[in-house]
Amino acid sequence: DGGITQSPKYLFRKEGQNVTLSCEQNLNHDAMYWYRQDPGQGLRLIYYSQIVNDFQKGDIAEGYSVSREKKESFPLTVTSAQKNPTAFYLCASSSYRAGTEAFFGQGTRLTVV
């Protein structure tokens, strides 16, 4: 089945550590996205990528980094520079033709302990 997979579902991190969230899609989509969702709030865009080896900052990129070495994969690293990383993270992908619906993974809940 085609889809988008995020792992792990739950992640715990100690303060001061970097952590990487995985996002893989087998939909042959060109565009991929990372969003952060805080309790009772909307989705805020962290980074997005329209094509392999290229990505753009979203609205809240500080403290995060990404790579897009393969079309299928768009990992997100939450660095120690991110002061408040506890949140729900959603990855999405869409086809390069603008306007096609974005498909979402099931999310990763990151908690700093």
Partner 1 sequence: AQTVTQSQPEMSVQEAETVTLSCTYDTSESDYYLFWYKQPPSRQMILVIRQEAYKQQNATENRFSVNFQKAAKSFSLKISDSQLGDAAMYFCAFMEFGNEKLTFGTGTRLTIIP
Q: Exactly one of 34, 35, 64, 74 binds partner 1 (CB under 8 A); which one?
A: 35
58 scored as a contact of partner 1 (CB under 8 A): yes
For residues 68 and 72, give the distance between their C-alpha atoms in angstroms, rounded to a whole number. 8
Collapse the DSSP code of 112 into the 3-class scheme (helix H, G, I; strand E, B; otherwise coil) and give the result: strand
88 scored as a contact of partner 1 (CB under 8 A): yes
27 scored as a contact of partner 1 (CB under 8 A): no
92 scored as a contact of partner 1 (CB under 8 A): yes
Beta-ladder partners of 77: 20, 65
- Other Cβ atoms less than 10 A from the Cβ of 84: the count is 9
For residues 8 and 112, give the distance between their C-alpha atoms in angstroms, rounded to a whole number. 15
Name the residues that contact partner 1, by CB under 8 A.
Answer: 30-31, 33, 35, 40-45, 48, 50, 56, 58-59, 88, 90, 92, 94, 96, 98-99, 101-102, 104, 106-107
